[in-house]
Structure 1
Amino acid sequence: MSFSQERLYQVLLAPQISEKATYVAEKNEQVIFKVASDATKPEIKAAVELLFKVEVDSVQVANVKGKVKRFGRSTGRRKGWKKAFVCLKAGQEINFVEGGAA
């Protein structure tokens, strides 16, 4: 499958960096990304391979529901989003800190 490069640049929104994400990264050699809500697994795989020059083994996705929050008397809901667990092939890794200020 071939995707347009413009679309692939819009698929990945941000890396998900949290305590749980760090644990998953160390244990399962996976990286977690916040992705566009209409992104598909093949698109996510192609985008990660294009942007980070690594080989992707598999992709799992999860839809995260937005939390219900109160604003005074009324209640509202935050927007839901999609999370992608990207499993890299053996020996591959993505370093987000590379090139940062010392």
Structure 2
Amino acid sequence: MTTILRPRITEKAGIMSETQNVYTFEVAKNSTKDTIAKEIKTLYKVTPTKVRIVNLPARKVFVRGNKGVQSAIKKALVYLKKGDKINLA
């Protein structure tokens, strides 16, 4: 089972990847820092120095007048070794 679901492409994530060499990914709920680091190594062939995890709660939303809930997600901030880059395009 893969722990990395998809990269999070946002304006803030783009700025962080250019300036601080930090990449953001959506990950599975049961993933840990170790499993994320191992999968980043195998998928992108770079060495992460640090992995931080953020659990974002579910949010109430209104879509075309209807109430709904946007699911909670877990995201990982992956710090890379200086000189390493990930091409997400």
Q: Same fold (TM over 0.5)?
A: yes
Pick from 69, 86, 96: which aligns with 2:61?
69
The structure where strand makes up a greater share of residues is 2
Write out the 4+ residue segments of structure 1 that deviate beyond 4 Å after TM superposition.
Answer: none
The structure where helix makes up a greater share of residues is 1
RMSD: 1.5
Residue aligned with 1:21, SS: helix
Amino acid at match of 1:79: S
Amino acid at match of 1:23: I
Higher RCO structure, 1 or 2 (CA under 8 Å, sep 6+): 2
Question: Offset of 1:67 from its aligned partner?
Answer: 1.5
Q: Which runs of 5+ in 1 are unaligned?
A: 1-6, 98-102
Residue aligned with 1:54, SS: coil
Q: Residues 20-59 of structure 1 correspond to what in structure 2 (within 5 A)?
A: 20-59=12-51
Task: Tell me the percent identity.
Answer: 33
When normalised by structure 2's length, the TM-score is 0.89
Question: Offset of 1:77 from its aligned partner?
Answer: 2.0
Question: Offset of 1:38 from its aligned partner?
Answer: 1.0
Q: Deviation per CA, 1:56-83: give whole Å up to 9, x if none.
A: 100001011121024657x432210101
Question: Offset of 1:21 from its aligned partner?
Answer: 0.4
Question: Offset of 1:27 from its aligned partner?
Answer: 2.0
Q: Which runs of 5+ in 2 are unaligned?
A: none
When normalised by structure 1's length, the TM-score is 0.79
In structure 2, C-alpha distance between the alignment counterparts of 1:68 and 1:83, rounded to whole Å: 19
Residue aligned with 1:90, SS: coil
